[in-house]
């Protein structure tokens, strides 16, 4: 059966542009290839064949921030590393999202000391926090699915108001829908 | 080589150098005058029978409230004699200055930079005494005992609103 024959019977599907765009964004979300500490091991585990992140269109970890749209901050961010993380974030093209993976990236974890940034949300705006030390790959995948849900609700105008988890620029905390 | 002979050798070569000596679990520690450190270290390294050619470790200790407040500790190993010796040098609080051992052992270079970075010990004669671990614009020396241990108040449910109101969240 040729493609013309098949296409002839498909008919027309109507949807909104927003849905198509958001569907495209969620299903090919490429993370930036970097890990900062022990959590990165679980992130690698999530990408391995057992948990297989490529089911969600995320098989490609891009080593260049120009080609990535998701930053998974996996591990503790030292104060010396913080400017580097921010620069990587600034180099990523819009639209871009950030997942803070693990307690260290979310709030400093057990490292309440001079060397560690107390939560990567001091450096980059975070969309989803994944708790755990380290979070299991399931937890990371859950966080990614949550981010997908959030991306699907984004408006084409760029307003992300009804997102499930978010810190607004006015410092209002987590809205869970 | 044993500790008594070693102590004797150093004492006869540099009678004024040793301030105190002690032995703990078979290891000899010599507290030296800072001015004599380079001479004694060179003597230990170059004397054919002693031959302490390996600087195993160099670190600084903060004895807050004691005089001198800081102490720089060196561990030397003689591979030929399979024997170790520990050298200690005090450094005063206001201006902790200790001669650098980098001319004798290149490995001292980065270890002295670490002691400078975290403890604020100055090493005279060091080729490039710069921070090695902390960011270059860091103020202070974080491993000193009078630097606070924690960094930020931990946010719990009862105080998170107060803390998050002051926390510098990043902008997009
Ligand atoms: S949260 Fe735990 S596993 Fe993750 S970086 Fe911190 S210490 Fe390591």
DSSP A89-102: HHHSPSS-EEEEEH
Mean pLDDT of A158-167: 50
Provide the domain count of chain A: 1
pTM for this prediction: 0.78
**Contact A109 CB / ligand 1 (< 6 Å):** yes
Average of per-residue pLDDT values in chain A: 82
Q: How far apart are CA A87 and CA A107, in angstroms?
A: 20
Is A92 part of a structural domain of the chain?
Answer: yes
| Block residue for tokens 């290149």 | B106
* Bridging pattern class, strands B54-62 and B70-78: antiparallel
CB A141 within 8 A of CB A51: yes
pLDDT (tens digit, 9 = 90+) per residue, A45-68? 998 889 988 888 887 788 999 999
Protein residue with its CA nearest to atom 7 in ligand 1: A133
pLDDT at B40: 93
Is the pLDDT assigned to residue A168 strictly greater than 80?
Answer: no
Q: What is the ipTM of this complex?
A: 0.73
Q: Which ligand 1 atom is the nearest neighbour of the CA of A110?
A: 7
Q: How far apart are CA B46 and CA B38, in angstroms?
A: 12
Taking the Cβ of residue A172 and every Cβ of chain B, the question of whether any pair is shorter than 8 Å is answered with no
Q: How far apart are CA B36 and CA B21, in angstroms?
A: 15
Is A101 part of a structural domain of the chain?
Answer: yes
Q: Which domain holds residue A148?
A: 30-152
CATH class of the region B3-166: alpha beta
Q: How far apart are CA A131 and CA A120, in angstroms?
A: 13
Mean pLDDT of A132-148: 90
Mean pLDDT of A15-35: 88
Is A165 part of a structural domain of the chain?
Answer: no
Q: How far apart are CA A65 and CA A59, in angstroms?
A: 16
Mean pLDDT of A127-153: 89
B59 forms beta bridges with: B73
CATH number at residue A131: 3.40.50.12280
pLDDT (tens digit, 9 = 90+) per residue, B60-74? 999 998 888 999 999
Phi/psi region, residue A26 (left: phi>0; alpha: psi -120 to 50; beta: rest), is alpha
Is the pLDDT assigned to residue A135 strictly greater than 60?
Answer: yes
Is the pLDDT assigned to residue A171 strictly greater than 50?
Answer: no
B91 forms beta bridges with: B70
Choose the weakest-confidence range: A142-156, B22-36, B104-118.
Answer: A142-156
Taking the Cβ of residue B95 and every Cβ of chain A, the question of whether any pair is shorter than 8 Å is answered with no
Please, which pLDDT band fits residue A162 given cuts at 50, 70 and 90?
very low
pLDDT (tens digit, 9 = 90+) per residue, A81-123? 999 999 999 999 988 899 999 999 988 888 888 888 888 888 8
Is A96 part of a structural domain of the chain?
Answer: yes
Please, which pLDDT band fits residue A160 given cuts at 50, 70 and 90?
low
Q: What's the gap in Å between the CA of B114 and the closest CA on chain A?
A: 15
Is the pLDDT assigned to residue B50 strictly greater than 80?
Answer: yes
Q: Tokens in use for A1? A: 């059966």
Percent of chain B predicted with pLDDT > 70: 99
Q: Tokens in use for B81? A: 């004699």
pLDDT at B172: 66
Question: What letter does residue A16 receive in the DSSP assignment?
Answer: -
Is A8 part of a structural domain of the chain?
Answer: no
Which residue does chain A place closest to B164, by CA atoms? A171
B23 sits in which H/E element: strand B18-24
Burial of B166 (0-12, 13-18, 19+ CB in 10 A): exposed
pLDDT at B149: 79
């Amino acid at each position: 059966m040729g493609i013309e024959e098949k296409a002839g019977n498909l008919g027309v599907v109507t949807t909104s542009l927003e849905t198509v765009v958001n569907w495209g964004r969620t299903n090919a979300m490429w993370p930036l290839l970097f890990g900062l500490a022990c959590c990165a091991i679980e992130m690698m585990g999530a990408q391995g064949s057992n948990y297989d992140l490529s089911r969600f269109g995320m098989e490609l970890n891009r080593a260049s921030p120009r080609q990535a749209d998701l930053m998974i901050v996996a591990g503790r961010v030292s104060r010396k590393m913080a400017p580097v993380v921010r620069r990587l974030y600034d180099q990523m093209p819009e639209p871009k999202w950030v997942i803070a993976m693990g307690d260290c990236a979310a709030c400093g974890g057990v490292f309440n000391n001079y060397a560690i940034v107390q939560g990567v949300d001091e450096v980059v705006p975070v969309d989803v926090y994944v708790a755990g030390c380290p979070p299991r790959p399931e937890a990371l995948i859950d966080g990614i699915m949550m981010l997908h849900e959030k991306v699907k609700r984004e408006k084409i105008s760029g307003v992300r108001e009804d997102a499930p988890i978010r810190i607004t620029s006015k410092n209002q905390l987590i809205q869970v829908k | 080589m044993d500790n008594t002979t070693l102590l004797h050798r150093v004492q006869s070569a540099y009678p004024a150098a040793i301030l105190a000596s002690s032995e703990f679990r078979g290891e000899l520690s010599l507290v030296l005058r800072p001015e004599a450190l380079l001479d004694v270290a060179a003597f230990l390294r170059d004397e054919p029978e002693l031959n302490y050619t390996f600087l195993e470790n160099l670190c600084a200790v903060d004895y807050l409230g004691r005089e001198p407040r800081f102490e720089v500790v060196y561990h030397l190993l003689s591979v030929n004699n399979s024997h170790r010796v520990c050298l200690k040098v005090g450094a005063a609080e206001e201006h902790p200055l200790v001669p650098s051992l980098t001319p004798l052992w290149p490995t001292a270079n980065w270890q002295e930079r670490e002691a400078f970075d975290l403890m604020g010990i100055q090493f005279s004669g060091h080729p490039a005494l710069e921070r090695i671990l902390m960011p270059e614009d860091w103020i202070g020396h974080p491993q000193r005992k009078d630097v606070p241990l924690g960094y930020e108040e931990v946010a719990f449910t009862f105080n998170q609103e107060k803390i998050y109101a002051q926390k510098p969240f990043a902008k997009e």
